[in-house]
Amino acid sequence: MAITLEETKEYLRIDGDEDDNLVSFFISAAEKHMENAGVKDTESDLYKMAAMIFVADSYENRSTANSGTKIAGIILQLR
């Protein structure tokens, strides 16, 4: 189940298009993160919900104290 830019922007309550590239980047990263984590069921509503939460967290907390934990998880997947 592909996550569209339009539904993600609706979820994030974004009206304009100035952040489209950034949101698209976060969608791609979320999908890759789920793939790297071994998620096989990409058609599930739970998949979509998890990916949207990942995007929302990335968009809304671009620089937070918790980013180190997120980065550590991503690095472990990249190894």
Residue 31 CA neighbour count, 13 Å, CB half: 13
The model's confidence at residue 75, banded by pLDDT at 50, 70 and 90, is low
User: What are the tens digits of pLDDT across the range 36-74?
Assistant: 888 888 898 888 888 898 899 889 887 665 565 666 676
> Rounded to an integer, what distance in angstroms lies between the CA atom of residue 46 and that of residue 34?
11
Q: Are 49 and 57 in contact (CB under 8 A)?
A: no
Residue 74's identity, in one-letter code, is I
Q: How many residues does the chain have?
A: 79
Torsions phi, psi for 63 (to 5 deg):
-145, 95
**pLDDT at residue 44, rounded to an integer:** 85
| Spans of all domains in the chain | 5-78
The pTM of the full predicted model, rounded to 2 decimals, is 0.81
Q: Residue for token digits 């984590």?
A: 37
